[in-house]
Structure formats: structure tokens, C-alpha cells
């Protein structure tokens, strides 16, 4: 998990009775970087478009403008999707997974923490999948993390569940 909190925040609290994680998609280009990229791309497109306009190829200027607009729309859609997140909370009475979509719709899944298992599978493509399995139900979690982060998160969640199930608890 990285230091800017984009992957998982608060993975394991010091209190053995509680585990909480907020999983967010990684967005490596911040708002300032996006502004610099758009100014650079727009400037290069504008200058090149003016050069084509002066050569008499005036329709090319419109296509350069369209390129800038499409790049802007693609980034805005990417940032909108980045508002989605997933929370995983382990308490003595329940393991709760709550998913919030980019539009703000929330859905919650509850498991008994004493019966749930954390399963990691390697898909044929080499990607790692993490699932919670209990009583015939299965729920894929942490899909927005990288493979390494998924494995690290699965280990932290397993450790939290083991601490909860230990006799000293």
C-alpha cells in the first residue's frame, strides 16, 4: 500500500478487536499534473493546428481541437470513476464489506468473522484475485488494487481474522 493513501488506508489498527481498511483506486496523476498535461497538450495542438491553418489545411485545426477535447473527457471520466471505494471492517460480531460506486450508491455485505475465509486465487492470466468465502457465498474484494497490494491486503485481513479467532481474544 502506498504512502499517499490511494490503495489502502488504516489497514490494521493497533487494537486487536478492530480491523478497518478503505480501498481506493490508484490515481497517479494529481490535479496539478492534469492541468500541466492539458496545457502542454493543448498548446502543442494549438501551435501545430495554426501551422496547418497557415498552410491552407484549415480542417486539421478542428481535429487537433477534437483531440484535446477527447483527452479531457477521458481524464474526467477516469477521475469520476476514481471516486469509488470499498471499506472492509472486522468486528467481533461481523465482517462488513461496503462498496460505494462512483455515483455514490452503496451496497453492504456481511459475513460472520468466525466462519469466513480469505482465499487468494491466481487466474490463468497471472492476475491475483482475493475472495471472501463463507457458507457457499463468495465475494471478490480488493479488485482495484495491484496484485502485490492484493496479496499484502489478504495477508493483513487473514492476520486480523486469526487474532479475532484466537483464544486470547
Measured distance CA(93)–CA(141) in Å, rounded: 20
pLDDT digits (tens, 9 = 90+) for 72-110: 999 999 888 888 999 999 998 899 999 999 898 999 999
Same domain, 43 and 62: yes
Q: For residue 122, what are the domain limits? A: 8-26+86-165
Same domain, 53 and 133: no
pLDDT of residue 125: 87
Same domain, 47 and 128: no
Same domain, 67 and 116: no
Same domain, 93 and 20: yes
Same domain, 49 and 104: no
Selected residue with higher pLDDT from 27 and 150: 150
pLDDT of residue 82: 85
pLDDT of residue 81: 86
Residue 156 inside a domain? The answer is: yes
pLDDT digits (tens, 9 = 90+) for 108-120: 999 999 999 999 9
CA Rg, the chain, in Å? Answer: 23
Same domain, 140 and 69: no
Same domain, 157 and 126: yes
Same domain, 47 and 77: yes
Lowest average pLDDT, out of 29-38, 71-80, 159-168, goes to: 159-168
| Mean per-residue pLDDT, 59-64 | 92
C-alpha cell at 41: 497538450
Q: How confident is the model at residue 1 (pLDDT cuts 50, 70, 90)?
A: very low
Number of domains, the chain: 2
Same domain, 129 and 93: yes
- Report the candidate in 6, 7, 1, 21 with the shortest Cα–Cα distance to residue 160: 21
Same domain, 157 and 75: no
pTM score, whole prediction = 0.70
Amino acid at each position: 500500500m502506498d504512502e499517499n493513501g490511494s490503495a489502502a488506508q488504516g489497514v490494521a489498527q493497533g487494537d486487536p478487536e478492530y480491523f478497518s481498511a478503505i480501498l481506493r483506486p490508484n490515481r497517479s496523476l494529481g490535479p496539478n499534473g492534469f492541468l500541466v498535461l492539458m496545457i502542454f497538450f493543448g498548446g502543442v495542438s494549438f501551435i501545430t493546428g495554426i501551422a496547418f491553418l497557415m498552410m491552407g489545411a484549415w480542417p486539421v485545426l478542428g481535429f487537433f481541437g477534437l483531440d484535446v477535447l477527447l483527452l479531457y473527457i477521458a481524464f474526467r471520466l477516469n477521475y469520476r470513476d476514481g471516486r469509488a471505494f470499498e471499506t472492509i471492517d472486522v468486528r467481533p460480531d461481523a465482517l462488513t464489506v461496503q462498496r460505494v460506486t462512483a455515483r455514490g450508491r452503496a451496497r453492504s455485505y456481511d459475513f460472520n468473522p468466525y466462519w469466513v475465509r480469505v482465499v487468494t486465487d491466481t487466474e490463468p492470466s497471472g492476475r491475483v484475485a482475493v475472495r471472501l468465502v463463507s457458507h457457499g457465498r463468495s465475494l471478490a474484494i480488493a479488485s482495484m488494487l495491484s496484485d502485490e497490494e492484493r496479496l499484502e491486503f489478504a495477508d493483513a485481513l487473514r492476520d486480523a481474522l486469526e487474532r479475532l479467532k484466537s483464544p486470547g481474544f
